[in-house]
Structures are given as structure tokens and as C-alpha cells.
Amino acid sequence: MNTNTDFLSDLCDFLYPRSPYYGQFNTDYLAFNAHLQEFSQRVNYICGLQTNGKISPEEAYKQIHYLWKQLKTAKQAIKINQ
């Protein structure tokens, strides 16, 4: 009985939810979807931190802007719509 592993798996699923991909199956699209979901999750955390006063609005903006640049770079590396 390995409940510790089950607990960690459930916790990871709760903290980092993943939605299935329903679009046209293409490895590039699937990879970009993974990047997009990670971007979305991180923006959600940043918004929560800013809403609760843990970081300033300027810091939240900077972090989200940085994540957006990373997402654009990932899109260019995957070469979607080119």
C-alpha cells in the first residue's frame, strides 16, 4: 500500500491540472498546447499572488510579460503557422 505516491500524484494533478487536447492531431500543435497550458497555469499563480498582495502589480506585469515572450519563442521554435 503506497499511499504516499498516490497523495503526491493527486496533489500534482490538483496543482498542475492538464486538459486533454481536442484539436487536430499534430505533434507541433500538441507541443504548443503543452506550452500554452503551462503559460496559463503560471499566469494564474501570478494573478493569485498579486490579488493577495504578495507581489506588486508592476512585478506581476513583468513576470507575465516575460512568460509571454517565452511562449512566443516556443511558438517560433515549433514553427506554427509559418
State the pLDDT at residue 8: 75
Query: Which single residue is written with the C-alpha cell 511562449?
Result: 71
For CA atoms 20, 14, 11, 6, give the dihedral sign: negative
Give backbone dihedrals phi and psi of 75, rounded to 5 degrees, phi first: -65, -45
Whether residue 76 is predicted with pLDDT greater than 70 in this model: the reply is: yes
pLDDT digits (tens, 9 = 90+) for 52-67: 999 999 999 999 999 9
User: Could you tell me the pTM of the whole model?
Assistant: 0.75
State the pLDDT at residue 69: 97
The CB density around residue 52, as the number of other CB atoms within 10 Å, is 8
pLDDT digits (tens, 9 = 90+) for 2-31: 567 787 777 667 666 667 777 788 888 888
State the pLDDT at residue 82: 56
